[in-house]
Amino acid sequence: MQVRAEGLSAMRGGRTVFADVRFAVDAGEALAVTGPNGSGKSTLLRVIAGLLGPVAGAIVIDPAAEDSALHYLGHLDGLKTALTVRQNLVFWQALWNGRRDDEQIGPALARLGIEPLADLTLGVLSAGQRRRVALTRMLLAKRLLWLLDEPATALDAAGEDAVAAMVEAHLREGGIAVVATHRPLPYAVRLLALGARP
Amino acid sequence: MIVALAAIAGQTARLTLKGGGALVGLVFFLAVVVVVPFGVGPDLKLLSRIGPAVLWIAALLATLLNLDRLFRDDRDDGSLDLLALSDVPLGLTVLAKCVGAWLATGLPLVVVSPLLGLLLGIEPAGLGVSALTLLVGTPALTFIGATGAALMAALARGGLLIAVAVLPFTIPVLIFGVSASYAVLVGPAPFLPPFLILVALTLIAAVIAPVAGAMALRIAVE
């Protein structure tokens, strides 16, 4: 599997955020997208996900996969604060896998070190704990392409290690990760630096 | 797919109930119906004559009141991105969310409407038929309101704007819902034609809302 960007340009609010971006990532590789604030890291991830249409160029996923071959973790967690951690996770299980599987949830939570929080309401958790729940959700369905927008936001050192371990395991299984980040990544194979635009 | 849609409908219903939205709608419905007799004065004949119309207007406003946050919450917490990326077509997601919203807000209105109809002095036959027309007609209100809510999801503050924007589209539902009730209460027009048109309106709204809602949400996601 390979993900390629061919001369990609995108606009937000009538302003070009990046132009003519090219990269290629193969199975088992991670791409670290770096650049100052406003350089279009998040926009690039949204374009790859297909949430935002590019102005020019194209994203090629080779071989063409089904629609939902990716996990997208934006800067928002996409969780409901009124529900418990387990209810949140069971919802996405039903949506992605078509069934609920309680056996799967415990080990997935354990990988991010938040197993004891399973039955707490999400509203009482800290930002870092919520981020961990959002990361746990990605383990519930297998997807080859992971798009991570600042995955370690609000996480402590142990949390960052857990994310790194999670992504490395994903890469070992032949997955691809595109990570927008400000920090150096322990596993990054390729680097894409987006420049600031006036 | 069925499991996924049931999960979406269930979560929407659960969040609406937890957020207090269902209760607000009910209280609003109750408030309107209780206040009208005081405004009309001690004319029981007049009151029982306009009773079905009052029930319908109150139900219409209570339904629209609740739909404001149907998609905006999903957009604000980032769930909408994930819903848009999932295998479930966005149109079906909209449909499932409408079903969930109706179960939490529309259905309680239908259930309490005979009770409130008593306060308005509606005859027993009228109570049944009013509840029946509400049962058939309120889904149309939810579908129309949800389309508006999807359009407003991209705006920071939709709020009352939804109610104002979709109100004109709900008027046919109101007209045929009320005229079906009157056909039974006063006659001489038959009950079935307006009732069947009401059913048709609900079915049409059920088809249009997913298509239009999905298009609006695609824009909101961008």
Instruction: Give the pLDDT confidence score for residue B156 in this predicted structure.
Output: 67
Most confident of A13-17, A71-75, B44-48, B202-206: B202-206
The residue in chain A having the minimum alpha-carbon distance to the alpha carbon of residue B73 is A80
Using pLDDT thresholds of 50, 70 and 90, give the confidence band for residue B201: very high
Instruction: Give the pLDDT confidence score for residue A188 in this predicted structure.
Output: 67
Q: What is the ipTM of this complex?
A: 0.89
Of B98, B175, B187, the residue nearest B144 (C-alpha): B98
**B222 to A91: CB separation less than 8 angstroms, yes or no:** no
Asked if pLDDT for residue A67 goes beyond 60, the answer is no
A99 closest CB neighbour out of B3, B83, B88: B3
**A78 to B77: CB separation less than 8 angstroms, yes or no:** yes
Domain boundaries, chain A: 1-69+146-198, 79-142
Would you say the pTM of this structure is higher than 0.95? no
Interface test with A, best of B17, B74, B85, B222 (most A CBs within 10 A): B85
The C-alpha of A73 sits at a distance from chain B's nearest C-alpha, in angstroms, of 9
Residues in B closer than 8 angstroms to A67, CB to CB, are 85, 87
Asked if pLDDT for residue A14 goes beyond 80, the answer is yes
**A94 to B1: CB separation less than 8 angstroms, yes or no:** no
Q: What is the pLDDT of residues B157-178, one digit of tens each?
A: 766 777 788 899 999 999 999 9
How much of chain B, in percent, has pLDDT values that exceed 70? 98
Determine the Cα angle at A174 with ends A173 and A179, to 5°: 100
Cβ–Cβ contact B88 with A under 8 A: yes
Using pLDDT thresholds of 50, 70 and 90, give the confidence band for residue A198: very low
Structure tokens at B107: 């259905």
Asked if pLDDT for residue B195 goes beyond 80, the answer is yes
Of B57, B58, B38, B60, the residue nearest B47 (C-alpha): B38
Interface test with B, best of A68, A76, A147 (most B CBs within 10 A): A76
Average pLDDT over every residue of B99-124: 91
Task: Count residue pairs from A and B with Cβ separation < 8 A.
Answer: 73
Cβ–Cβ contact B19 with A under 8 A: yes
Q: What is the pLDDT of residues A147-174, one digit of tens each?
A: 999 988 888 988 889 999 999 999 998 8
Asked if pLDDT for residue A197 goes beyond 60, the answer is no
Average pLDDT over every residue of B47-70: 88
Average pLDDT over every residue of B35-40: 88
User: What average pLDDT does the structure give for chain A?
Assistant: 87
8 Å CB contact between A1 and A174: yes
Asked if pLDDT for residue B76 goes beyond 50, the answer is yes
How much of chain A, in percent, has pLDDT values that exceed 70? 95
Name the CATH topology of A1-69+146-198: Rossmann fold (3.40.50)
Instruction: Give the pLDDT confidence score for residue B21 in this predicted structure.
Output: 74
CA distance B111 to B134: 9
